[in-house]
Amino acid sequence: MEYLSKLHKEYQVTIIQVTHDASTTEYSDKIIHLVDGKIKD
Amino acid sequence: MGIKVSAKNISKSYDGNAIFKDLNLVIESGDFVSIMGASGSGKSTLLNALSGNDELDQGSVYFDDVNITILNDKDMALLRKTKLGFVYQFFNLVQTLKVKDNILLPIYLKGEHFSNVKPHYENLCKMLDIKDLEDKYPDQISGGEQMNLQVIWIVTPLLK
């Protein structure tokens, strides 16, 4: 995650990650919760 | 910075079961977005839809204003090669290539020579502090390190 965060900052790439581990979302700007195929705000 | 990816009214089902229906989503350029959900919530299906790895039943996905839903295989492959990087949960480094050549694989696949990207490659190694790994083979480094290195593939297609 540290590399991913560094690369995100340095190269300003857009990152979309899929996870069920909340600890990996600490570097995210935005979290989308998907429940039964629907986005929960 | 503008919109990078947008999904408009996308639907996908498998064997008659709707995974998602009429879903809309916008991802801004430079965002770091996490899609969270329990197993079976449709998150991997959504990622495959957003990245053009899977066909949709309905709706469109736009990447940099290009409707990727209607791209043919050749154009989609070109987009993947030049603008997208994928990192998988289970590492997929090529075991017969040194770390350096693994990192540069997206460059070689574009038909470019190492000399074109040398300064950028060196900058990348310095930034991530991996200079001492570059001449090793994947089986000579730890699983965690292999996983970390694969992350680099998200930017190597961009090195110029």
The ipTM estimated for the assembled molecules is 0.93
Stretch B15-42: mean pLDDT: 93
Say yes or no to pLDDT of B159 above 80.
no
Residue A34: beta bridge partners? A39
User: For B36, which of A12, A29, A31 is closest by C-beta distance?
Assistant: A31
Taking residues B64-78, report their average pLDDT. Answer: 94
| Residue A13 CB coordination number (10 Å) | 20
Show the CA angle centred on residue B5, arms to residues B69 and B108, nearest 5°. 80
Distance CA B117, CA B47 (A): 30
In this prediction, residue B155 carries a pLDDT of 85
The SS3 assignment for B152 reads: helix
- Average pLDDT over chain B, rounded to an integer: 91
Cα–Cα separations (whole angstroms), residue B138 to A22, B100, B149: 29, 10, 10
CA–CA distance, B153 with B76 (Å, rounded to integer): 18
Q: Which residue among A7, A37, A38 sits closest to B154, beta carbon to beta carbon?
A: A7
Chain A contact for B41 (CB, 8 A cutoff): yes
Residues of chain B neighbouring A4 (CB-CB closer than 8 A)? 87, 151, 154
For residue B48, pLDDT over 80 is answered with: yes
**A7 neighbourhood in chain B, CB within 8 Å:** 151-152, 154-155
Residue A13 above 70 pLDDT? yes
Contact with chain A for residue B142, Cβ under 8 A: no
| Encoded amino acid at B137, one letter | Y
**Is the per-residue pLDDT at B160 higher than 70?**
no
pLDDT at residue number A21 = 85
Q: Given a cut of 70, is residue B113 above it in pLDDT?
A: yes
d(CA B122, CA B124): 5
Give percent of chain B above pLDDT 90: 61
Q: What is the mean pLDDT of residues B22-51?
A: 93
Query: CB of A41 within 8 Å of any CB in chain B?
Result: no
pLDDT of the residue at A3: 87
Q: Whole-prediction pTM value?
A: 0.84
The per-residue pLDDT for B85 is 85
Q: CA nearest A13 in B: which residue?
A: B30
Alpha helix (H) residue ranges in B3-155: 43-50, 73-83, 99-103, 105-109, 114-128, 143-150
Q: Flag if A3 and B30 touch (Cβ within 8 Å).
A: no
Report the Cα B95 to chain-centroid distance in Å: 20
Extract the tokens encoding B4: 């990078």
